[in-house]
Amino acid sequence: MKGSKLKDGLIFFMLAIMSILFLTPIFIVFMNSFKGKFYISDTPFMLPNSKTFVGISNYSSGISKTGFLNAFGWSVFITVSSVLVIILFTSMTAWYITRRKSKFTSGLYYLFAFSMIVPFQMVMFTMVKVANILHLDNPFGIIVIYLGFGAGLSVFMFSGFVKAIPYEIEEASVIDGCNPLQTFFRVVAPILKPTAVTVGILNTMWIWNDYLLPYLLIGSDYKTIPIAVQYLQGGYGSIDMGAMMAVLVLAIIPIIIFYLVCQKYIIEGVVAGAVKV
């Protein structure tokens, strides 16, 4: 009993230390967002005082300089649309290649799995050229690009879960008169909900924070939040650190709230896929 308590205490202590290490950078950014820009570099680890505290002026300055509200709108649109498209098409793809056993579907599955290990930097120049030719260099076209890059992991996760669904359930729906689309949306899709939520959360965190792909495809015409932050850098490398810290806080808050609300679904989705064989 004592050994078990000691072990639990040690695990708790290690997790507490890791939590502090992960939360410290976020706290430093939040703390510095209330300081004058000239004091952030000099005293980055000190709490604001009567001399360095500037209230919410950094937030108003950052919002006006970056066009934050417009960038926030584009980030929400691209993220939500891309995640919904990824969940819909990859779940259907995973169901098809899992239930239709053939050399074609097996090869397709391995292509999706292989895409997960290909670095983005290896294909980004070719991707940009193809996107320009196909007129995908806009907020609607980038959704298709995100579908391509997010399909590998998503299909892999959905496929593992579909294998755990008893085929007899689908056979029963066919006997009741369902066609393939009705079978998927009425029978399979509700069962895939834990994995769908997990896939959605992981892709949301990736797309919301992504800088390189929107920068290469849509640039300054349709700024997302990561791109808007870059525009706080002035000439000769000068940066308004106060406004940047404030905008970073505004960018972090939505995704933190989203993750805290949905974190239990990640665990449920992982566990659901792990206990079924």
Whichever domain contains 211, its CATH number is 1.10.3720.10
Model pLDDT for residues 76-126, shown as the tens digit of each residue: 999 999 999 999 999 999 999 988 888 888 888 888 888 888 888 888 888
pLDDT at 147: 92
Got the DSSP string for 103-159? HHHHHHHHHHHHHTTS-HHHHHHHHHHHHHHTT--STTHHHHHHHHHHHHHHHHHHH
The mean predicted confidence, pLDDT, of the chain is 83
The answer as to whether 26 is a domain residue is: no
CA 24 centroid distance within chain: 22
Amino acid at position 256, single letter: I
- Could you give the percent of the chain with pLDDT greater than 90? 14
Cross-strand partners of 53: 35
Residue 57 pLDDT > 90: no
Cross-strand partners of 35: 53
The answer as to whether 22 is a domain residue is: no
138 lies in which domain range? Answer: 67-231
The answer as to whether 32 is a domain residue is: no
Rounded CA separation 112/150 (Å): 10
The answer as to whether 13 is a domain residue is: no
pLDDT at 274: 44
Q: Name the residue with tokens 């510095």.
A: 32
In the numeric block, which tokens belong to residue 126? Answer: 């070719």
State how many domains the chain has: 1
- Output the pTM of the full model: 0.83
Rounded CA separation 250/122 (Å): 32
Three-class secondary structure of residue 238 per DSSP: coil
The answer as to whether 243 is a domain residue is: no
pLDDT at 52: 81
The answer as to whether 238 is a domain residue is: no
pLDDT at 272: 52
Q: Name the residue with tokens 């890791």.
A: 18
Inter-residue contact 265 to 202 (CB < 8 Å): no
The answer as to whether 116 is a domain residue is: yes
Mean pLDDT, residues 256-264 taken together: 79
The answer as to whether 145 is a domain residue is: yes
Split at pLDDT 50, 70, 90, the class of 277 is very low
